[in-house]
């Protein structure tokens, strides 16, 4: 009976872990799709809320998003969005690679490679996301 309970517990834990991983993956894909859409339409204020702050305030780094009300922060967001927009404009389509979870410097990073495709040419960019109280944010 103990072995049966132990086996059921292990199966439940594996199922639960798998569901969490699927939810994380779906959330990351949604955040990336929104970021691409906002970049292409120059909705920098909306994109700011999807990008992890990495400025001078050490207490906000990788915990908060950029504040679209602060012009200096919005300027940093615009720069990133314009690069994304350029890649999207040069491509006829893009394909997402596998999302890889890794640990760097005591933080968990979810990395996804995106292949921007135009005819026979393919350009691969890697995007890193971190999980915060605000959801998954693009990290520098």
Please provide the average confidence, as pLDDT, over all residues in the chain: 87
Q: Give the pLDDT confidence score for residue 5 in this predicted structure.
A: 58
Q: What is the mean pLDDT of residues 126-139?
A: 94
Single pTM value for the model: 0.81
Q: Give the pLDDT confidence score for residue 13 in this predicted structure.
A: 47
The yes-or-no verdict on residue 112 having pLDDT over 90 is: yes
pLDDT digits (tens, 9 = 90+) for 12-66: 444 444 434 568 999 999 999 999 999 999 999 999 999 999 989 999 998 999 9
Does residue 35 sit in helix, strand or coil?
Answer: helix
Q: What is the DSSP letter of 71?
A: H
> What gap in Å lies between CA 111 and CA 114, rounded to an integer?
10
Q: What is the CATH number of the domain that holds 9?
A: 3.10.450
Domain that holds residue 41: 2-139
Backbone angles phi, psi at 92, to 5 degrees: -90, -25
> What gap in Å lies between CA 89 and CA 85, rounded to an integer?
6
CA atoms within 13 A on the CB side of 137: 25
> What gap in Å lies between CA 77 and CA 73, rounded to an integer?
6
- What is the C-alpha R_g of the chain? 18
Query: How many folded domains does the chain comprise?
Result: 1
């Amino acid at each position: 009976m103990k072995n049966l309970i132990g086996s059921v517990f292990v199966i439940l834990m594996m199922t639960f872990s798998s569901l969490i991983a699927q939810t994380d993956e779906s959330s990351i894909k949604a955040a990336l799709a929104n970021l691409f859409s906002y970049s292409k339409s120059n909705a920098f204020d909306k994109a700011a809320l999807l990008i992890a702050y990495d400025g001078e305030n050490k207490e906000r780094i990788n915990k908060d998003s950029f504040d679209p009300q602060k012009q200096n922060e919005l300027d940093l967001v615009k720069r990133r969005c314009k690069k994304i927009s350029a890649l999207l404009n040069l491509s006829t389509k893009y394909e997402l690679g596998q999302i890889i979870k890794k640990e760097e410097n005591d933080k968990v990073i979810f990395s996804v490679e995106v292949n921007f495709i135009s005819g026979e040419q393919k350009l691969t960019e890697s995007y890193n996301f971190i999980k915060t109280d605000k959801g998954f944010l693009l990290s520098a």
